[in-house]
Structure 1
Amino acid sequence: MSLPPPRLTDRRLVRDLVWVVILKLIVITALWWGFVREFRVPVDHDAMAVQLAAPLPAKQQTHTDGEPHGQ
């Protein structure tokens, strides 16, 4: 069973979608370059190590009405 040959509209759709994705990447890059690039978030390595090493809090199961389920 062979596939039918691609129609001209299929190729045009693919080409148009590729152009849209390229344009979106250019816009996102320009926005990042213009507004986000200069901002840095300071990271305290010791505090981050403590956060990663801390045990996770136990989850409480909830009923559909939002009340905690005591187990």
Structure 2
Amino acid sequence: MNGNVTFDSLPSAIEELAGKVDYIINLLGTKIEKREEIPKYLNTEKALAHLKNIGFSMSKSKLSNSLL
């Protein structure tokens, strides 16, 4: 979905957004079975690897910007 949603593209934009919301809800609802597997402190590379491992891949710059 780009930033230019038109009247004609609104239904598909809403459908895409609803799919992303469902994905986020599923991520948040996922139960962590073994909390000890999540390290208490991570450097950037280990944080990125952990996020990728749980299915939430992102770039180093996106992670850095989200921490500001």
- Which bin holds the TM-score, normalised by the shorter protein? 0.3 to 0.5
Q: TM-score, normalised by structure 1?
A: 0.38
Structure of greater relative contact order (alpha carbons < 8 Å, 6+ residues apart):
2
Structure with the bigger percentage of helix: 2
Structure with the bigger percentage of strand: 1
